[in-house]
Amino acid sequence: MKIVVTGAAGFIGSHLVDRLLREGHQVVGIDALLREDWRHVQFANLANALQDANFIWIRKNMLEVELEPIAADADIVFHHAAIAGVRQSWGSEFGQYMDANIRATHRLLEACKHGQLRKFVYASSSSVYGGSEGAVSEDAPLQPVSPYGMSKLAGEHLVRMYYLTYGVPATSLRYFTVYGPRQRPDMAFHKFFKAVLEGRSLPVYGDGSQTRDFTYVADVVEANLQVMKLQKHGNVFNIGGIERASVLDILQLMQELTDRDVRIEYLPKQAGDPDHTRADLSAAREKLGYIPQIGLRAGLAEEWNYIRQLYA
């Protein structure tokens, strides 16, 4: 099949590209590498794909590339291109979130509305819920507490509109705190491990008691492949992991895995950071057969190996 992956050089997108190529698909990856300071990481993410004859890389901005010819004969579209991150979405930076998360999604859906797609998969976020002490199901109130969460929810609304109006065969996946090799340099575990490697203090916002449902990237990729085969459309699924833990729990585990001292620099809690997140996976388990496989200790060990190699 011909499969389009936007955000192909990114954290999740690059893992998905590699998996699709291993399964023999033709993959068109779209990624402009907008962050110059991250390009060495993103080129490394695409290293395997660029050696595969079944991979085509379109290095253009989603707001500039001609999407209609790309989507016209595509079988599947995975839309992972976005600007992520809660803390940077406030203030003057929000215009970038509008462009990358809302306008680009709208352009892609316009290009797909008259095609012959089998599936359009939209990468959403648990940030659409805000936060919750207990496990949230897909029908829980959607109350984002950051501009980033709002932008992802707006993308979900666009996806549903194009399903209802034009029959775009879409499904949205709400990811819960994904981690693992190839994490972006601005993501917490990447920053934590790099600080440990360099003997610096780790920045922790708040008191570290906040908890997350942590999801290993390979489990997220598996969920994408499962939903690719789903014949029903217009739906949404939570994609979470095996374990929930606090930030302090994670730091203790990192100290054990690295066998190095972990020094913490406590910083003020940031606007838009929920205290707790937790996924109810009942729907994904029942309708996709999604069962996460990788626990925190094994997943963090893989990320630590990646960080050491990246900064060797």
Helix (H, G, I), strand (E, B) or coil at 170: strand
> Poorest-confidence range of 74-88, 117-131, 169-183?
74-88
Respond yes or no: is residue 166 known to be catalytic. no
Note the pLDDT of residue 225. 98
Report the C-alpha gap between 226 and 244 in whole angstroms: 23
**Where does the pLDDT of residue 134 fall: very low under 50, low under 70, confident under 90, or very high at 90 and above?**
confident
Q: What is the mean pLDDT of residues 65-76?
A: 96
Return the structure tokens found at 200: 């610096």
Output the CA–CA distances (angstroms, integers) from residue 189 to 54, 235, 251, in the order listed: 32, 31, 9
Note the pLDDT of residue 131. 81
Note the pLDDT of residue 266. 93
Output the average pLDDT for the chain: 95
Output the CA–CA distances (angstroms, integers) from residue 186 to 11, 82, 192, in the order listed: 11, 14, 10
* 100 DSSP 8-state letter: I
Note the pLDDT of residue 271. 81
User: What sign has the CA pseudo-torsion 61, 72, 44, 148?
Assistant: positive
- Which CB contacts under 8 angstroms, 24+ apart, belong to 92-96? 94/147
Note the pLDDT of residue 269. 87
Note the pLDDT of residue 75. 97
Per-residue model confidence as pLDDT tens digits over 172-186 = 999 999 999 999 999
> What's the pTM value of the predicted model, to 2 decimals?
0.96
Per-residue b/e over 21-50, b at no fewer than 16 CB within 10 Å? Answer: beeebbbbbbbbbeeeebeebbeebbeebe
> Poorest-confidence range of 44-48, 112-116, 227-231, 282-286?
112-116
pLDDT at 272 over 80: no
Helix (H, G, I), strand (E, B) or coil at 70: helix
Note the pLDDT of residue 168. 98
Q: Which domains does the chain have, with CATH numbers?
A: 2-179+215-240 (3.40.50.720)
Which of 97, 129, 148, 179 does the annotation list as catalytic? 148
Helix (H, G, I), strand (E, B) or coil at 172: strand
Q: What is the mean pLDDT of residues 95-102?
A: 94
Note the pLDDT of residue 93. 83
In the chain, what percentage of residues exceed pLDDT 90?
A: 89
Strands of the sheet containing 170-175, edge to edge, are: 55-58, 26-30, 2-6, 76-79, 119-125, 170-175, 235-239
Report the C-alpha gap between 265 and 289 in whole angstroms: 41
Output the CA–CA distances (angstroms, integers) from residue 49 to 52, 134, 167, 298, in the order listed: 5, 40, 32, 25
